[in-house]
Amino acid sequence: MIAVLGAGLMGHGIAQVSAQVAKCEVMIRDVKQEFLDRGMGMMRKSLQKFVQKQVISEQDMNDTLGRVHPVLGMKEAVENADLIIEAVPENLQIKKAVLAEADKYAKEGAIIASNTSSISITELASITERPERFCGMHFFNPPQLMKLVEIIRGAQTSDETINTIVAVSHRMEKETVVVKKDTAGFIVNRILIPALNEAFNLVWEGVAEPEDIDKAIKLGLNWPMGPLTLVDYLGIDTTLAITEVLQSELGPKYGPSPLLRQMTRARLLGKKSGKGFYDWTKKK
């Protein structure tokens, strides 16, 4: 059994993959019923798209939903889980509080993994009584479609834990990379976030319009989407949070663009708020 803590953008997708592809029973937990309802609604919508594209049958969709069990209580969520995947917002204090509570109720042999995209795995593991059975398991958005999982070793993570998470990821039909050293941003975000931050700087400095920056990178670097479209999907506040972690851990050259801070303060967060660099209220 897998427990997913958090039913938001990433959490519901991780729960879906666990139930749909890995065929596991899944407990999905959040702190409010409305968050659970929204997450289950997003999962159903995603599965319906797979049915429409004839990737899965309607029976497969119903079977998948039947394997997902939404709950509000932490004890109920984790007490029988073999793997607990934390997928709450990218905030150190929130993650620590959730992980400490999960660790208290989890059975002795359970592995706990964090879906953090930037925070130190060693620091998160230290809040638990099982640092050797704790690691990073970083999915990419949307987990239902993106093939990669970064598996991050903390200072005390055992080889057995890493091997188990590699096997579970493969059961989810994911490709894996193992990050041998716990460093801010791991592999992908260590490279990606400075590039996205520089795209913000280009807009802030008036070098080019967002549409032309996106066009240049799509056609010039063969990215599937431009960097400013990508941050609208990722969430501009999430991008800021990751940038601040990189700055704190790796130095001032990773500091966020003034525009990144300004848009976060203005709640222009991208697709999840309806507007970022683009107006998502008008897009299908």
Confidence (pLDDT) at 218: 96
**Percentage of residues of the chain with pLDDT beyond 70:** 99
Phi-psi region at 235: left, alpha or beta (left = phi > 0; alpha = psi -120 to 50): left
Closest CA to 60 of 23, 28, 27: 23
**CA 201/CA 254 separation, integer angstroms:** 12
Where does the pLDDT of residue 126 fall: very low under 50, low under 70, confident under 90, or very high at 90 and above? very high
Before 142, cis peptide (omega within 30)? Answer: yes
| Average of per-residue pLDDT values in the chain | 95
Active site residues: 117, 138, 150, 189
State how far the Cα of 120 lies from the Cα of 38, in Å rounded to an integer: 29
| The overall pTM is greater than 0.85 | yes
Say whether pLDDT at 241 is over 80: yes
| Residue-by-residue DSSP string for the chain | -EEEE--SHHHHHHHHHHHHTS---EEEE-SSHHHHHHHHHHHHHHHHHHHHTTSS-HHHHHHHHHTEEEES-HHHHHTT-SEEEE---S-HHHHHHHHHHHHHHS-TT-EEEE--SSS-HHHHHTTSS-GGGEEEEEE-SSTTT--EEEEEE-TT--HHHHHHHHHHHHHTT-EEEEE-S--TTTTHHHHHHHHHHHHHHHHHTTSS-HHHHHHHHHHHH--SS-HHHHHHHH-HHHHHHHHHHHHHHH-GGGPPPHHHHHHHHTT--STTTSBSSSBGGG--
| Non-local CB neighbours of 199 within 8 Å, separated by 6+ positions | 213, 217, 226, 227, 228, 231
Phi, psi of 29 (to 5 degrees): -125, 140
Nearest by Cα to 46 from 143, 175, 137:
143
* Res. 117 pLDDT band, cuts 50 70 90: confident
The contacts of residue 53 (CB under 8 Å, 6+ apart) are: none
Nearest-angstrom CA–CA distance, 152 and 185: 10
pLDDT at 283: 57
SS3 labels along 48-97: HHHHHCCCCCHHHHHHHHHCEEEECCHHHHHCCCCEEEECCCCCHHHHHH
- Asked whether 193 and 201 are in contact (CB, 8 A), the reply is no
Residue 188 CB neighbour total at 10 angstroms: 15
What is the model's pLDDT at position 282? 80
Question: Domains in the chain, ordered, with CATH?
Answer: 2-179 (3.40.50.720), 189-278 (1.10.1040.10)
Q: Looking at residues 36-43, what average pLDDT do you find? A: 96
Specify the pLDDT at position 207.
97
pLDDT tens digits, one per residue of 149-208? 999 999 999 999 999 999 999 999 999 999 999 998 899 999 999 999 999 999 999 999
For residue 284, pLDDT beyond 90: no
Q: What is the pLDDT of residues 226-239, one digit of tens each?
A: 999 999 998 999 89
Which pLDDT band, with edges at 50, 70 and 90, does 59 fall under?
very high
Contacts of 67 (CB under 8 A, 6+ apart): 19, 23, 24, 25, 26
